[in-house]
Amino acid sequence: CYAPMTDVENLKLFATGPINDILSNEDGVSPNCKALLRLNWPKFNRGNISLAGNDTSASFFTPLQSLIYSSLSNYADLLVTTETRENRNEMSDVTILHILNHVLTARKRIQRHNQRIRELAQNKSSESGALNSKKNSKTAVQHAGNDDKWRDQGFTQPKVLILCPTRGTALDFVMRMLNLPGSLAYVSNLQRFQEDFGVSLDNDDVDADARRQAVLRSKGADWQELFGDDVNDDDDFKIGLSVSPKPPKGKKDGEKIGIQVYNDFLASDIIVASPLSLKIYIEQEDANADFLSSIEICAIFHSDVLM
C-alpha cells in the first residue's frame, strides 16, 4: 500500500480494505486484538489522541492510526511516506499494537493446537491399547499432528523482524513496545538492554568535545534525534525478544505477558536489528541464519536513513 500523501483525507484512498469491516468494535479496536493489549491501549495511546485533537475519553485511534491499522489488520504491504517528527510515535505505536497482537495470537494458537494434538494422541493410544511408553507417546503425537489443519508455524520461531538504523532508534521502539502492556507485562533483562542501547559518551578531550558541540548546534532536529548527544548512534546491533502469553514460572497474579529481552535468536519471537549487523552476521562462514527463515512481518523504521 503506497501512500505518498501529506494529509489523512488523501491517505484514505490508499488504505487497504474497508475500515468499518475491520474496526467493528465500539472502541475502534479490531475484534481480533488480544484483551491484554486492549486493556492498556487507551492509556498508552492517550498522548497521540490528544496531539491529534481528538477526545481522549472517546477515541482509541487517531484518524491516521485508524487508516494504518486497517491495512495492518489485513496484512497488506504498507508503505507510508508521510512520517514526520510529530506523527512518528503515532505511527509506530499502532504498528507495535499489531506486532504484539500477531505474536500473542500465534503463540496462543500454537499452544492450543499442541494441547489438542496431545489429547488426540492420548485418545488414539487408549483406543488401540498401545503401551504408555515415552516412545509410543511421541509417535502418537507425531501421527496426530500430521493433519494440515495443525500447521501453524514455520521452521523457526522468530515471526517478526524489526529493522532500525541505530541503537537509539531500536531503544525507542523496544521501550515503547514494552510500555504498551504496562503493568500487565513481566520484562526480563531490561536494565542490561537500557545500558547497552542507551547513551555512552566517554570523551575526556575538552577541545574535541567543544568542536562536537559546535557541530551539533548546526544540525537540525531530525539529525539530532538520530546522532545527537542524547542517543546511541551505533549501527551494529541485533537482539532477540520472546513474547509469551503467560507470565514466568512462579508468577500467579492474573493473566500477564512475559517478555524476555536478549533471548536466543532461534527461541525469540521478535528480532530487532540493523541491516548492517545482519549483513555482517550472514556473511560469516559459520553463521546460522535460520532464524530469518520464518519471518511473517517485517517492519522498517526510519527507512529514509537506511536508504
* Lowest mean pLDDT across 92-106, 111-125, 132-146: 132-146
pLDDT at 79 over 60: yes
The tens digit of pLDDT for each residue in 7-42 reads: 554 444 344 444 433 444 545 555 568 888 888 898
pLDDT at 270 over 70: yes
Domains of the chain, residue spans: 1-148, 160-306
Whether the predicted model's global pTM rises above the 0.95 cut = no
Give the separation between CA 157 and CA 145, rounded to whole angstroms. 18
pLDDT at 281 over 60: yes
Task: Identify which of 23-32, 101-110, 139-148 has the greatest average pLDDT.
Answer: 101-110
Strands 257-261, 185-188: parallel, antiparallel or unpaired by DSSP?
parallel
Give the separation between CA 199 and CA 136, rounded to whole angstroms. 55
Give the separation between CA 51 and CA 86, rounded to whole angstroms. 9
Give the separation between CA 196 and CA 171, rounded to whole angstroms. 9
Q: Are 130 and 140 in contact (CB under 8 A)?
A: yes
